[in-house]
């Protein structure tokens, strides 16, 4: 057999690979020389997100819903499939829970059969509306099990449970990343997330919609930093399973975010107050000591710099007519 065949390139499956984070992850993995298999049902992902990769020799696209079994041969799996914004995950909440739970079972079954390493894109939402601040991985969270956000939060919690049970029962090499709010180019213009909403409103000189009093906090991580954290986590030795918080520990109120966006865009937008959605967490900031220690990772892009790049993306998208009215 030729040496070329023996030294086979690693084949990586990215579920949700046509989404916001998934598409950046696929690009990064291609650049590192992997064969990339992107599986997506295009619920919130788009072909535009992966357009730059479609002709690439080492990139393969599969239209697939992870709630159904998938039989492919892979060495690593990044399980990102799941709508992430409240508008999208509440659109069909039963499907959201199925995606997290059945999706995790299928991808873990695939990992078990192929011996692949598998990484779960979990979320800071598993902490719910936290009484501990900042959030450390040891904190068990405060999640409403029956509210409108529960399909996402509890689905993701159950997925974590499945990952750790497959580890205990079948010795799978698992990695669980708890991702905190991430932003950047390719966020969907209509998914209602705060960064995209504020930027689009500011670029149109329309009122900036502040939910509640605007004193609630979030900590925003730029997408490239996040992808770097995910790849580093996958590369850790088998004994490192996580869960590991990945996010930017610099915390802002929504009012501060609105001011930053207005300033960067030179907008004449005014603030408009709207009711706070049910179960909206009051504060959220990751403690990233574990990521620093185990992955040697911390975010490098400050909010202002990341916002400049994101504003440029949305400005261009609006010029192309890609933002619905």
Binders of ligand UDP in range 87-106 (CB under 6 A)? 105-106
Rounded to a whole number of angstroms, the minimum distance from the CB of residue 284 to ligand UDP is 6
Piece of the chain touching ligand NAD by CB under 6 A; list 77-85, 140-148, 161-169, 202-210: 77-85
Of the pair 205, 302, the CB lying nearest ligand NAD is at 302
What is the 3-state secondary structure of the chain?
A: CCHHHHCCCCEEEEECCCCHHHHHHHHHHHHCCCEEEEEECCCCCCHHHHHHHCCCCCEEEEECCCCCCCCCCCCEEEECCCCCCHHHHCCCHHHHHHHHHHHHHHHHHHHHHHCCEEEEEEEHHHHECCCCCCECCCCCCECCCCCCCHHHHHHHHHHHHHHHHHHHHHCCCEEEEEECCEECCCCCCCCCCHHHHHHHHHHCCCCEEEECCCCCEEECEEHHHHHHHHHHHHCCCCCCCCCEEECCCCEEEHHHHHHHHHHHHCCCCCEEEECCCCCCCCCCCECCHHHHHHHCCCCCCCHHHHHHHHHHHHHHHHHCCCCCC
Tell me which of 223, 254, 262, 311 binds ligand UDP, using CB under 6 A: 254
Piece of the chain touching ligand NAD by CB under 6 A; list 35-43, 70-78, 136-144, 272-280: 35-43
Both structure tokens of 313? 């993306």
Of the pair 21, 311, the CB lying nearest ligand NAD is at 21
Site membership for ligand UDP, residue 181 (CB under 6 A): yes
Of the pair 85, 150, the CB lying nearest ligand UDP is at 85
Q: Does residue 152 carry a catalytic annotation?
A: yes
Among ligand UDP, ligand NAD, none, the one that 209 touches (CB under a kind-dependent 5 to 8 A) is ligand UDP
Among ligand UDP, ligand NAD, none, the one that 65 touches (CB under a kind-dependent 5 to 8 A) is ligand NAD
Binders of ligand NAD in range 37-66 (CB under 6 A)? 40-45, 65-66
Tell me which of 14, 84, 107, 307 binds ligand NAD, using CB under 6 A: 84
Rounded to a whole number of angstroms, the minimum distance from the CB of residue 197 to ligand NAD is 14
Site membership for ligand UDP, residue 147 (CB under 6 A): no
Residues identified as active-site? 152
By CB under 6 A, name the binding residues for ligand NAD: 15-16, 18-22, 40-45, 65-67, 80-84, 99, 103, 121, 123, 179, 181-182
């Amino acid at each position: 057999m030729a040496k070329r065949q023996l030294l086979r390139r690693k084949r990586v499956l990215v579920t949700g690979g046509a989404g916001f984070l998934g598409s950046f992850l696929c690009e990064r993995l291609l650049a590192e020389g992997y064969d990339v298999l992107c599986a997506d049902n295009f619920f919130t992902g788009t072909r535009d997100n992966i357009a730059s990769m479609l002709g690439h020799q080492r990139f393969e696209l599969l239209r697939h819903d992870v709630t159904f079994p998938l039989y492919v041969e892979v060495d690593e799996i990044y399980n990102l499939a799941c709508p992430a914004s409240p508008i999208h995950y509440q659109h069909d909440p039963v499907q959201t829970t199925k995606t997290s739970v059945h999706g995790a079972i299928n991808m873990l079954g695939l990992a078990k059969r192929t011996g692949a390493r598998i990484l779960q894109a979990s979320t800071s939402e598993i902490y719910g509306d936290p009484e501990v601040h900042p959030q450390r991985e040891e904190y068990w969270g405060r999640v409403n099990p029956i509210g409108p956000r529960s399909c996402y939060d509890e689905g993701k919690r159950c997925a974590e449970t499945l990952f750790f049970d497959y580890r205990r029962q079948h010795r799978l090499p698992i990695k669980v990343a708890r991702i905190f709010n991430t932003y950047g180019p390719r966020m969907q213009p209509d998914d209602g997330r705060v960064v995209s909403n504020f930027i689009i409103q500011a670029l149109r000189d329309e009122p900036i919609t502040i939910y509640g009093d605007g004193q609630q906090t979030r900590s925003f991580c730029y997408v490239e930093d996040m992808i770097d954290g995910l790849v580093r986590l996958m590369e850790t030795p088998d004994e490192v399973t996580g869960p590991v918080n990945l996010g930017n520990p610099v915390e802002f109120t929504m009012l501060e975010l609105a001011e930053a966006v207005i300033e960067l865009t030179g907008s004449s937008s005014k603030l408009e107050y709207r009711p706070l959605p049910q179960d909206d967490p009051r504060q959220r900031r990751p403690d990233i000591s574990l990521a620093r220690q185990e992955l040697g990772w911390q975010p490098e892009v400050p909010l202002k710099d990341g916002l400049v790049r994101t504003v440029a993306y949305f400005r261009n998208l609006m010029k192309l007519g890609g933002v619905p009215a």
